[in-house]
Amino acid sequence: MRLGQRTCVMGILNVTPDSFYDGGRHYKPEKALAHAFRMIEEGAGIIDIGGVSTRPGSQAVSQEEELRRVIPVIEELSRHTKVPISVDTYRAGVAEKALEAGAQIVNDISGLGDKDMARVAASSGAPIVIMHIKGKPHRMPKNPAYKNLLAEITLFLRRKVNEAIGAGVNESNIIIDPGIGFGKSPAQSFEVLHRLGELRSLGLPVMVGTSHKSFIKHALKPLDGSKTPDSTDVLYGTLATVALAIEKGAKIVRVHEVRESVQAAAVCDAVIRDKKWKASSKT
């Protein structure tokens, strides 16, 4: 997958009735499509469509129900935009049908937990995001323990990348995601963000999804005894994590608020990746 010098902002489209962030506002296809087009107008470089909530306490749905939710939206959206569509799923059967319907990328939060996922990506030639997770999507540990957090994440991802390549996936089509918030405590999530640059040792593009994750509110506990914000009210905290991720080398940031994140990414790119200011500072 070709990624430019600038950060790619992936817009999240939850086609679920129980999303922790939007509460099912985009569950109906017509509302989902309207939101997708809005995110594209705001600068999204990828639209990531998911039909299963993975928030804590959420329930798994059948593959048939997941397909019923995502396929009509993917089919219709792909007819009207050239912006790449990603399917957020841990099921190879859903990924395969979604790619046939017009999706171009697979975003697998289970890190190839489905033994057929790598085969699907290989046979289609689609880029795939391989995410680290401790446990399974709907059965993550409440008190995750690691001996060496980044070493274990890196080892997991290296093994999964090798598994994908062994199944025929082109290495240039692999993106890695450390899985912030997935089987990680708030402190561990902050540590992953702080040490994100260590994943560069794998030599692959890094995607980071921190948008409205619950760990953010732990940094916002008020000193005056007022109410701590819930996870739907941490936009500015989210933007801080987006900026930090880009500074640490993330090439893709997965977000709910596209317009604000595009602005944050543009400023980060101007400081970190553009060379114009360096040249002008010498004059």
Q: Read off the pLDDT band of 16 (50, 70, 90).
A: confident
Q: Tell me the per-residue pLDDT of 119-134, one tens digit each, with 9 for 90 and over.
A: 999 999 999 999 999 9
Compare 13 and 58 and report the one with higher pLDDT: 13
Q: Does the pLDDT value for residue 104 go beyond 90? A: yes
pLDDT of 228 reads 72
CA distance 250 to 228: 29
Q: Which structure tokens are listed for 5?
A: 């010098």
What percentage of the chain exceeds 90 in pLDDT?
75
Q: Using alpha carbons, list the distances in angstroms from residue 195 to 52, 181, 192, 201.
A: 29, 15, 5, 12
Place of tokens 């941490």: 234
Q: What is the pLDDT of residues 210-220, one digit of tens each?
A: 999 989 988 88
Confidence bin at 17 (pLDDT 50/70/90): confident
Tens digit of pLDDT for each residue in 182-193? 999 999 999 999
pLDDT higher than threshold 70 for residue 275: no
pLDDT at 138: 66
The predicted structure's pLDDT at residue 260? 98
Confidence of residue 253 (pLDDT cuts 50, 70, 90): very high
pLDDT number for residue 124: 98
Query: Are 181 and 208 spatial neighbours (Cβ–Cβ below 8 Å)?
Result: no
pLDDT for 91-100, tens place per residue? 999 999 999 9
pLDDT range class, residue 24, cuts 50, 70, 90: low
* The CATH number, out of the four listed (3.40.50.170, 3.20.20.20, 3.30.310.50, 3.40.50.2300), of the domain defined by the range 8-280: 3.20.20.20
The whole-number pLDDT of residue 96 equals: 98
Q: Across the chain, which distance is largest between two alpha carbons, in Å?
A: 63
Chain segment 32-61, per-residue pLDDT in tens: 999 999 999 999 999 999 999 876 666 789
| Average pLDDT estimate for 130-139 | 85
Residues with catalytic function: 213, 254
Q: What is the DSSP track for the chain?
A: ----SSPEEEEEEE-SS--TTTTTTT-SHHHHHHHHHHHHHTT-SEEEEESS--STT-----HHHHHHHHHHHHHHHHHH--S-EEEE-S-HHHHHHHHHHT--EEEETTSS-STTHHHHHHHHT--EEEE--SSBTTB--SS---SSHHHHHHHHHHHHHHHHHHTT--GGGEEEE--TTSS--HHHHHHHHHTGGGGGGG-S-BEE--TT-GGGGGG---SSS-PPP-GGG-HHHHHHHHHHHHHTT-SEEEES-HHHHHHHHHHHHHHHT--HHHHHTT-
Backbone torsions φ then ψ of 86, nearest 5 degrees: -110, 145
Please report how many Cα atoms fall inside a 13 Å half-sphere around the Cα of residue 164, on the Cβ side. 33
pLDDT of residue 220: 85
Confidence label for 281 from pLDDT (cuts 50, 70 and 90): low
Q: Please list, residue by residue across 19-50, b when 16 or more beta carbons sit within 10 angstroms of its beta carbon and e when fewer do.
A: bbbbeeebbebeebbebbbebbebbbbbbbbb
Count the residues in the chain: 283
Tokens of 65: 């129900």
- Asked whether the whole model's pTM tops 0.75, one would answer yes
CB-neighbour burial class of residue 109 (10 A; exposed 0-12, middle 13-18, buried 19+):
buried
Average pLDDT over residues 135-153: 86
